[in-house]
Structure 1
């Protein structure tokens, strides 16, 4: 049996390597020694006939991980393990390929933590402190903490300068190994040997010869008192002796501190772990090699007593060749794109931090539009602004906008409360919230409105006054009009009430199931079946099949639900009850006449259906409604909050509700619709990037949405919940 396993291993190598030398790149003497031990171990576990093939593993000494990337690109080395941030650069800028990924005991990702010894420090006031980082462009030591600081506006990046320059100004002194070419001030705390000879210069290099390199080096920087805060990943905390734990604290996002053991709840973000890269034409060979080496020397390796791939203690250092915390290596298939392995959020963060270098995207804001009418209004906005360029990108629905933002195909969109909930679950964050109050004057000392009181709307059920026998409670078999799929007033709120005698509020928690059961037919744009039969579709330039989830469907949104209630201009295709928001109901009724849709309809021709079975005039919406609808929020990726905020504030100053320009940011009727890009009831924007989406929605609405989506299938949540941290 033992002999057959040796023969099998020999065949793997001789078949796939074909006597080609396998050259592993190392960045220090200890790593070189460990690599040499691996080469000896390979020879030792093989039968004599296979020695020649396995002896061809050699170790190529480089001055840094950047030097390794250069050597692999130039065919002077073949493979190296890197932090995920360096992997991304190697793939995108040097055309190397990711072939394997490190997986740890708790998954394939790391958490970024800020470690301090001073118990008075606060993550919100790091400016002017001395910082220790595991490495330039490293996930936990650079990208995640900087993304966090930028998203909270603690760190300002003007975009006129490279990010590294503004980071160098933010901290009073730093050690960021690998940053010497980016910004020399980021190296002032480093302690490696300096030399004009590249091979002998270890100062601020991503090499173990720089004492403050990698996670252990950053902690060493903190221990020695060189820095005030160390940015490392949570795996590095395992190396701290139990007797030392009380000496260190974590800085939490809310400004508090926590013990090291609380890293799961007190961290600055999550990103992928390390991986291995090689050249495209060598990837098959490397995959076979990694599989075979791990089979022999991995955690469960057959010959792990001879050599341990994920243990560096015998070489006098830590994390040599791989992270010592690595549980296993997952060899990746040929067709896996780097964004699939690392996750869309992480890749979008790296792009936002200009890991691929600057591009045209860095100077524009890409806005998501979901219909022909929104596209027209957006293009007029782009022509009217006097700030950064605006690009209008077409999508088919709000859910599609969320996905496009995740994929870095657009940057921002205004979402209703339910879609804000979905976007928040997908990792997007609020920048500003639409303000429906009448007073938009900023507080003294502030340039823009700042308030935690966010006026909301309410959802209402509306029927024609002439339909006297329609009430909440006897809607069974009627025709319904809903704003659109997932709309707060048209979809999320009504199902909680007893709509018919056959249905009560304790019935199924899936609104689609409730509406399909209660109503004979209806129009719920974005759905299917009987709840699309009343819909009309679009005409002209907005021609589309019926029931699409955007303004091209003439019965979409609050205005569309009202049109659905009165019927099309021919008097056909109408509903008995409309579920919509009250905020611009009267304005929309007037628009029925002015737009030529339907004549002679007035406010008195409609009544509200109250939850208790009574009816009331439209003016009584405060006491006769189906629930509160939180305001719309403009959502984006975390790293873009500052840029999108500045852009919106500049737009509001020149094009807002009080401006005298021809184009109005919060006006849509001239485009034949309502609530395009933003609700027409908006008076101004409120800065809310310091709040999380849950706080904006409020606990009651959040809990309601949470309960619904636990039992309602959602494609966008399924897309967003693809977790790269647990898929390997």
Structure 2
């Protein structure tokens, strides 16, 4: 006890500044709890320590935005707000977030849709009455709207305000805080109406609106005012037995579930509440929160006098803090809001227009990974003037995933392994590339035929192959250790993932060899795997034509490295034009292989090579002609797929289908979406083998990848903590230093974001 008091006295000494700590409250009940906190705090501290700052001043506000404004103008100091309001406070009002509430699931909350048993499912929401916990709030607005937009249930013409689209979708609603722009969205609210500002509580974000917050949204449903309620799972964790019998959750797949099944039946996860303050008050607020938590938190020494995370004795719920809060996690100073809330969630908020957009919402920003792709993309943009396209440049497919997550780009076509990575990071499919004989010519295909291809999994796969020169008779698939290798790029399906089954044996030994990246470094003598490092970059040559020195592009995970991609791996096998810097075996895909071999001569890269100069290495140790890839390959590779954020699915899909139809009808066009020869490379933006793009908005990325490929990716990325060392050097996506970040719409939140490797050393992916 003495130790605690000494700590508190030290804190108070540092806090003393001749003024009170002012907490912003949103109801009379919060005022009562706040006043009791101040009274108890005074009582537990020695008289000698009491000064004016030792007391809490409780500042009553009309609503959450009034709180934010009071803190901004130095009329209050701190408040606990929903993550959506936290974002607005930081981005629009210049405040900072100092701490997060931590619940049993970390800082994450499940967004759930609740309805009376047997009355609704998630696919029949149009025209019903709805109650939401708050406008622009995580569980009542951001995640549900992101979910509905991703499923195309909501059609948002960006020329309209989103609030108007929602008011046309639901029959009537109560969404506290939505404002006066869409009266239908406040029609079901029951707060007092008055022309006197202090007496008007209708549809506002305060407890004076009966249907405010998650408990209020649930109350709205129970009172029979609404047909569905959108709220967070914390409000139903302690549902009574009769409520459990009378109400159920609406699941994304169209089924329903018991209220207790919120962890498997929800619309997504997002960050919970955070505590905001001014930048110059962050240290003081941090110390103040530390003090009250040590005294009155769940493990506080004075919790018998006052419970910080319990509101029952004041006749309400979630007063000052959520009652489900286990503790407050204090944050580092100057921490970016994206690291606090998560890049996925921040991208979702930007997509929903939380801070406006200087960029026309109709514009599609396509991510390019090389100068050659940029040239092709710019010509594409000139060819589809009716639909504005902007070309933005990333450094690799991984970088494009990060840019799309952070709303710096909108779409990119990714190979199968990167589709897995993007899917784990919350991106979703828009369209898949269709190859081979199963695809009719683009001008003969119908929308119905396109849909059938994916529905019945009729897409012809690409095959991974291992290629060697015919005269290198001693080489076979079983004796590649210690040789020079050529791979299309790091994380490539054929040259990295599927290859692991035939070379490093990553899945046979679950200890040290499970780290595929390190295993390849030890397995091959040297090689070129663009995007890697060490001896797997020694054969790479870069591109002297790229701006700056050749070394700047050497081993880059883009076409700026001459040995990148399928054509690059073939070039690597034969060596550069002078005949140096070559490999013994190339791992690539079978598509366009014969054309690529011909291109060696026509492009002036290497003369004298024809298809008969190469052979395939078969899994059984034999060799075969390059035309026999169907029976001699390392496995099928799912199609490359266009991925985007959930909130932009409709925009990207419409753009692609219009673009494809328009360009396909112009037979004399100088621009061809699926041809890249004129730009000096191949497979730019899309694979050149693509016949057309098949709609994939109705499928998950797991379905597109298929069970065998998905399970192989899971095994490799989740194998052991040993792999973490490799991913630290080559992270599939940027890894933050912050723990327990909130997730976003349709993304699993495991005390943070996607944990690829199962290691306790992995914090979270943004």
Range into which the TM-score falls when normalised by the shorter chain: over 0.9
**Alpha-carbon distance, 1:460 to partner:** 1.2
Secondary structure, counterpart of 2:326 in structure 1:
strand
Alpha-carbon distance in 2 for matches of 1:495, 1:192: 63
Contact 2:541 2:561 in 1 (8 A): yes
Provide, for residues 244-296 of structure 1, a one-character-per-residue CA deviation record: whole Å limited to 9, x for no partner. Answer: 21211111111111111111111111111111112223222222222222222
Match of 2:646 in 1: 638
Contact 1:27 1:65 in 2 (8 A): yes
Secondary structure, counterpart of 1:94 in structure 2:
coil
Pair 201,470 (structure 1): closer, same or farther in 2 beyond 3 Å? same
Provide, for residues 654-698 of structure 1, a one-character-per-residue CA deviation record: whole Å limited to 9, x for no partner. Answer: 234974321111111111100011101111111112211111011
Is residue 668 of structure 1 aligned with residue 676 of structure 2?
yes
Is residue 650 of structure 1 aligned with residue 658 of structure 2?
yes
Select the residue among 691, 715, 724 that pairs with 2:741: 724
Match of 2:439 in 1: 438
**Alpha-carbon distance, 1:564 to partner:** 1.6
Pair 526,10 (structure 1): closer, same or farther in 2 beyond 3 Å? closer
Is residue 535 of structure 1 aligned with residue 540 of structure 2?
yes
**What pairs with 1:242-391 in structure 2 (closer than 5 Å)?**
242-360=241-359, 362-391=361-390
Alpha-carbon distance in 2 for matches of 1:337, 1:78: 20
Secondary structure, counterpart of 1:238 in structure 2:
coil
Pair 530,7 (structure 1): closer, same or farther in 2 beyond 3 Å? closer
Select the residue among 445, 448, 468 that pairs with 1:463: 468
**Alpha-carbon distance, 1:495 to partner:** 3.3
Task: Name which of structure 1's ranges 563-572 and 448-457 shifts more when overlaid on structure 2.
Answer: 448-457
Pair 461,217 (structure 1): closer, same or farther in 2 beyond 3 Å? same
Match of 1:552 in 2: 560
**Alpha-carbon distance, 1:476 to partner:** 4.0
**What pairs with 1:410-449 in structure 2 (closer than 5 Å)?**
410-436=409-435, 437-439=438-440, 440=442, 441=444, 443=446
Match of 2:756 in 1: none
Alpha-carbon distance in 1 for matches of 2:609, 2:225: 75
Unaligned ranges ≥5, structure 1? none
Provide, for residues 422-442 of structure 1, a one-character-per-residue CA deviation record: whole Å limited to 9, x for no partner. Answer: 111222211111111432455
Pair 106,521 (structure 1): closer, same or farther in 2 beyond 3 Å? closer
**Alpha-carbon distance, 1:51 to partner:** 4.1
Contact 1:429 1:636 in 2 (8 A): yes
Secondary structure, counterpart of 1:179 in structure 2:
coil
Select the residue among 559, 562, 568 that pairs with 2:570: 562
Alpha-carbon distance in 2 for matches of 1:166, 1:200: 30
Alpha-carbon distance in 2 for matches of 1:684, 1:530: 38
Task: Name which of structure 1's ranges 684-693 and 5-14 shifts more when overlaid on structure 2.
Answer: 5-14
Q: CA RMSD in A?
A: 2.4
Pair 7,494 (structure 1): closer, same or farther in 2 beyond 3 Å? closer
Contact 2:557 2:564 in 1 (8 A): yes
Match of 1:590 in 2: 598
Is residue 451 of structure 1 aligned with residue 454 of structure 2?
yes
TM-score by length of 1: 0.94
Contact 1:525 1:550 in 2 (8 A): yes
Secondary structure, counterpart of 2:670 in structure 1:
coil
Contact 1:426 1:720 in 2 (8 A): no
Alpha-carbon distance in 1 for matches of 2:710, 2:666: 33
Match of 1:401 in 2: 400
Select the residue among 510, 517, 524 that pairs with 1:519: 524
**What pairs with 1:124-163 in structure 2 (closer than 5 Å)?**
124-163=123-162
Match of 1:225 in 2: 224
Pair 559,237 (structure 1): closer, same or farther in 2 beyond 3 Å? same
Provide, for residues 553-587 of structure 1, a one-character-per-residue CA deviation record: whole Å limited to 9, x for no partner. Answer: 11111001111222222222222222111111111
Provide, for residues 347-394 of structure 1, a one-character-per-residue CA deviation record: whole Å limited to 9, x for no partner. Answer: 111111111123316342222211121121122222222243322222
Pair 328,512 (structure 1): closer, same or farther in 2 beyond 3 Å? closer
Contact 1:125 1:154 in 2 (8 A): no
Pair 447,160 (structure 1): closer, same or farther in 2 beyond 3 Å? farther
Alpha-carbon distance in 2 for matches of 1:280, 1:506: 53
Pair 111,538 (structure 1): closer, same or farther in 2 beyond 3 Å? same
Alpha-carbon distance in 1 for matches of 2:481, 2:269: 48
Contact 1:387 1:651 in 2 (8 A): no
Matched positions, count: 724
Provide, for residues 132-154 of structure 1, a one-character-per-residue CA deviation record: whole Å limited to 9, x for no partner. Answer: 10011111111111111111211
Pair 449,352 (structure 1): closer, same or farther in 2 beyond 3 Å? farther
Alpha-carbon distance in 2 for matches of 1:633, 1:183: 38
Contact 1:544 1:552 in 2 (8 A): no
Pair 490,25 (structure 1): closer, same or farther in 2 beyond 3 Å? same
Provide, for residues 201-247 of structure 1, a one-character-per-residue CA deviation record: whole Å limited to 9, x for no partner. Answer: 11101111111110110000000111111111111112311332121
Could you list the structure 1 runs, at least 4 aligned residues long, displaced by more than 6 angstroms after superposition: 444-450
Match of 1:692 in 2: 700
Pair 15,565 (structure 1): closer, same or farther in 2 beyond 3 Å? closer
Secondary structure, counterpart of 1:335 in structure 2:
coil
Select the residue among 574, 584, 604 that pairs with 1:576: 584
Alpha-carbon distance in 2 for matches of 1:72, 1:129: 38
Alpha-carbon distance in 2 for matches of 1:281, 1:477: 59
Unaligned ranges ≥5, structure 2? 743-750, 753-762
Match of 2:760 in 1: none
Secondary structure, counterpart of 1:534 in structure 2:
coil
